[in-house]
Structure 1
Amino acid sequence: MERLCARLRAAASGATPLALETLCDEALGMLGPGGRDGDVALLAARFEGLLPETVAYWYMAPRPQTAGQARRLTRRTLGHWGLDSLVETTELMVSEVVANAVRFASRPITLRLLCTDVLRCEVGDDSPVVPRMRHARLSDEGGRGLFLVDQLARRWGATRVSTGKIVWFEQPLPGPPGVR
């Protein structure tokens, strides 16, 4: 097993990576036929990473004016990416999620925008409490932020991480898939 791990590490760090099928064949060959009563499944994937120009990332102090700062950063970034048609909706959702993070964070919050096959926005804070959608009454002054996100985003969710949580949402990119 140690030999197999060393070989996989070497293959992953090589300048000329092996084809994944070749790597799987080699790995299965190193395991040998002995001692297996059933089938063996092996999955190999290669992550090429994200291009730097498709990611924007900021740390922001948890202050009341941070939601406005996040809106401005979002507007500027989406304009740079040519996603002007998504600016208003994205600003609104970013503002709601950042305002919620500001309420509970005791350390800087993070805002990350990723433009891949969708526009993904992530807001991280140090509180482990995952938000849940409330059903605000007409007289309530708050409690509508996640409802708005739920209505406007294609998908959204919250993920606990070792440093707190990340609340994220996604929107489809304008235009036909694969063309912008």
Structure 2
Amino acid sequence: MNGETPHVRLLPRTDAHDRSCLLLTEGDGPASRLADRMESMQTSLAGRLLGRTRDLLVAGGMSSDDLGLLAGQLADALADVLVVAESRRRRLPGAADHVPAFVLSGLRAYSLRTFPGQDLASARAARRHVRDTVQQWGLSPEAVDDLELITGELVANALEHTDSRTITVTCGLTAEAAAVGVTDEGENGVAVVPEVPRGEQENGRGLLITDALAARWGSLRTGEGLTVWAEMAVDVGSPGARGGSYEAVRERL
């Protein structure tokens, strides 16, 4: 690491389970350069496929089987290009304003863990994981309790409102703040942006708790899913007092 501001980059590929891949990077490492080449290749292939499609449509005489095959290829190419576009959008100037601070700068410690998305026990397991993690960072008992409670509510929301196969929980620590993020895979492949409930609404009460406890919180689209994050101010003393070292990691969501 060279001290530059790190950020999360959406990679132009998925893992063996068709889950989005993220890279925590400073922007110019070997993995980032490889991702640049992959993006260029994907957009080039999509352009060539589009040209071939136009030629075939002009020529006419395509069978229904040929049309079905072509539609599948176009769908795959469009999916690739949309991922590339989203990745590049996030790297535009000003896009970082919508990313939680623990992703942006001054990381002292970072943790990531994935939980089953179809198991209600994941909320309890995630709470325990976050408690154990942030206690090691030397946070106050009140901050530990609040982050644990927020995590449980956000994971419970993801379990209830999405059909995710996995749910990923991240924690981050800077000199001034600690944050937690919960990433799901969306509902039927669509990211559902949460809203704080109003009036007598029964759903989404966990967001009321999050809104009350966190200094700030928000959401960030991640591929077809969504990351809901919450941040609170903390004072952890001198650098390295209890926090773990910050390392570049590749996240598989």
Instruction: List per-residue Cα deviations over 1:90-131 (Å, max 9, x = no partner).
Output: 111110001011121322010000011310111000111111
Match of 1:121 among 166, 171, 180: 180
Which residue, 52, 57, 61 being the options, matches 2:112?
57
Matches within 5 A, 1:65-84: 65-84=121-140
Structure 2 equivalent of residue 147 of structure 1: 208
Offset of 1:50 from its aligned partner?
A: 4.4
- In 1, Cα distance between the equivalents of 2:204 and 2:154? 12
Q: 1:70, 1:95 within 8 Å by CA — same for their partners in 2?
A: yes
Question: Distance between the aligned counterparts of 2:211 and 2:105, measured in 1?
Answer: 31
1:133 pairs with 2:189: no
Specify the alignment match of 2:17 in structure 1. none
**Maintained 8 Å contact 1:157/1:168:** yes
Counterpart secondary structure, 1:83 = coil
Q: Are the counterparts in 2 of residues 113 and 119 from structure 1 also a CA contact under 8 Å? A: yes
Rounded Cα–Cα distance in structure 1 between residues aligned with 2:106 and 2:204: 37
Match of 2:170 in 1: 112
3-state SS of the aligned residue for 2:193? coil
Task: Note the aligned Cα RMSD (angstroms).
Answer: 2.8
Give the equivalent residue in structure 1 for 2:64. none
After the TM superposition, list the runs of 4 or more consecutive aligned residues in structure 1 that deviate by more than 6 angstroms.
Answer: 175-180
Amino acid aligned to 2:131 = R
Q: C-alpha separation between the residues in 2 aligned to 1:178 and 1:134?
A: 39
Distance in 1, Cα, partners of 2:199 & 2:107:
39
Whole-angstrom CA distance in 1 between matches of 2:105 and 2:126: 29
Larger Cα-atom Rg: 1
Unmatched 5+ stretches in structure 1 = 1-11, 14-42
Letter in 2 for 1:80: Q
**SS in structure 2 at match of 1:76:** helix
Measured against aligned partners, the alpha-carbon deviations of 1:26-82 in whole angstroms (never above 9, x if no partner) come to xxxxxxxxxxxxxxxxx9xxx98845xx01100100111111001110111011111
Q: Secondary structure at the match of 2:159?
A: helix
Q: When the two structures are superposed, what TM-score results if normalisation uses the length of structure 2?
A: 0.47
Q: How many residues align?
A: 133
